[in-house]
Amino acid sequence: MPNFLKKQTKKYSIKTSVTSHKSSLKGLLFLIGALISSPAFAVDGMMLNYGVGMSDALIQYKDITGAKQKSIGVFWNTDTTFQHGLLGYSELEFEAYAAEISKDQTMNLVAVRPILNFWESSSKARSWYWQFGIGLSYFDSKRLDPIEFSSNAQFATIFGLGFVLDDARKHRLTMRYNHYSNGYLSTPNQGLDTFTLDWHIGF
């Protein structure tokens, strides 16, 4: 095949791949929107966050200091609670969000996950909590220099420490460590770490 045809074929393949992933992301956003608008899935609040990329000090292999993350999402409370002998009292909630992580390139993603909020007590007068959650995310791109994913689907893990801002517990601020990776289901699995401040607004 002539070189100019090879170049055109490669450009078309890349363009088709990007278009396909953007279409998949739009489809997931549409599905989340349809669920949110359904009375059966009425949300209990929304969340906003802003954060920064991290160095390679923790799990990710390379430094993305200077990257920015911003997102918007919703959450659902549940009546499910747990009493752990070691970890204490916790409550289960679910969240779904769309985020943008940008540096020299921009990655867009959607994610859903369950969250366990561990409170200092089971009483209503509570002021702080820590949380853990792991779910699934889908990225429209596999690269944010110098990090490269092997797949668009990634696990989305968080550890957080939060504080209640009002007596009705309608407003919460949570500092979160976010880690995205595929759990070595395929390689490369360099991971992506961000640190964010999340504002939860209850309805």
User: Could you give all domains of the chain from N- to C-terminal order, each with its CATH number?
Assistant: 43-202 (2.40.160.20)
CA nearest 131: which of 165, 112, 159, 96? 159
User: What is the model's pLDDT at position 11?
Assistant: 46
Quote the radius of gyration of the chain (alpha carbons, Å).
19
Q: What pLDDT, in 10s, does the model give residues 15-53?
A: 444 455 555 566 555 555 655 555 556 899 999 999 999
User: What is the model's pLDDT at position 167?
Assistant: 84
Tokens 């899935």 belong to: 41
Judge if pTM exceeds 0.85.
no
Question: d(Cα 65, Cα 50) in Å, to the nearest integer?
Answer: 14
What parts of the chain have a pLDDT lower than 50? 4-18
| C-alpha 63 chain-centroid distance | 19
User: What is the model's pLDDT at position 34?
Assistant: 57
User: What is the model's pLDDT at position 29?
Assistant: 58
Q: Which two tokens stand for residue 164?
A: 């209640």
User: What is the model's pLDDT at position 27?
Assistant: 57
Q: What pLDDT, in 10s, does the model give residues 160-178?
A: 999 999 988 899 999 999 9
User: What is the model's pLDDT at position 196?
Assistant: 98
Beta strand extents in 10-152 (DSSP E only): 45-53, 68-84, 88-102, 106-119, 128-139, 143-144, 147-148
| Dihedrals phi, psi of 25, to nearest 5 degrees | -65, -45
